[in-house]
């Protein structure tokens, strides 16, 4: 059995995140020692590894919840898991498209900059006036 600190070290998931996953039901409630310390077994470590890998691939928590539910029923067809992965792939493609549009806009701003004074700076001008952008939707790519 691992303490939460050792589980964190073994999986690379921070202690507050482990507690959060437990709170929202992605991880089952940990057993407790006589001193009320959380204790985790190999199944919890494996499940947390699954969650970590899915998060690294960008899956949202609700999709991970669905995938975990599916993984708890190994005899059912994997079509539902495929659909979840396809949704994630579509989201990745959409994000890449937005990032490419942002890249093009930033490159355009930099190339058009006269490298003179701030009053004539294209970068500052475009950031101050969205109508000067070639691309209308910058969406979430610039956020978080």
pTM for this predicted structure: 0.75
- Report the DSSP beta bridge partners of residue 39: 3, 31
- Sorted by where each begins, the domain ranges of the chain are 2-58, 79-142
For residues 106-120, average pLDDT: 79
Q: Which of 2-6, 17-21, 130-134, 139-143 has the lowest mean pLDDT?
A: 139-143
Collect all residues with Cβ–Cβ distance below 8 Å to 128 and sequence separation of at least 6: none
Q: What is the DSSP letter of 58?
A: T
Give the span between the Cα atoms of 47 and 104, in whole angstroms: 40
Q: Does domain 2-58 have CATH number 1.10.1660.10?
A: yes
Token pair 């985790």 is at which residue?
40
Residue 135, φ and ψ in degrees, nearest 5: -105, 125
- Cα separation values, 106 from 15, 67, 126, 138, Å: 38, 37, 10, 11
Contact predicate 30/4, CB 8 Å: yes
Which tokens go with 85? 């992965």
Is the per-residue pLDDT at 6 higher than 90?
yes
Residue 3, φ and ψ in degrees, nearest 5: -70, 170
For residues 51-72, average pLDDT: 96
Give the span between the Cα atoms of 3 and 135, in whole angstroms: 50
């Amino acid at each position: 059995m691992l303490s939460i600190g050792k589980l964190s070290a073994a999986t690379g998931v921070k202690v507050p995140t482990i507690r959060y996953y437990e709170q929202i039901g992605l991880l089952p409630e940990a057993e407790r020692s006589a001193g009320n310390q959380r204790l985790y077994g190999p199944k919890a470590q494996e499940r947390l590894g699954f969650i970590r890998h899915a998060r690294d691939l960008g899956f949202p928590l609700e999709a991970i919840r669905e995938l975990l539910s599916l993984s708890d029923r190994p005899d059912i067809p994997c079509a539902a898991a495929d659909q979840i992965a396809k949704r994630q792939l579509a989201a990745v493609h959409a994000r890449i498209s937005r990032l490419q549009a942002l890249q093009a806009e930033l490159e355009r701003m930099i190339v058009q900059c006269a490298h003179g004074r701030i009053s004539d700076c294209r970068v500052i001008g475009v950031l101050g006036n969205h109508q000067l952008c070639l691309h209308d939707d910058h969406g979430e790519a610039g956020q978080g």
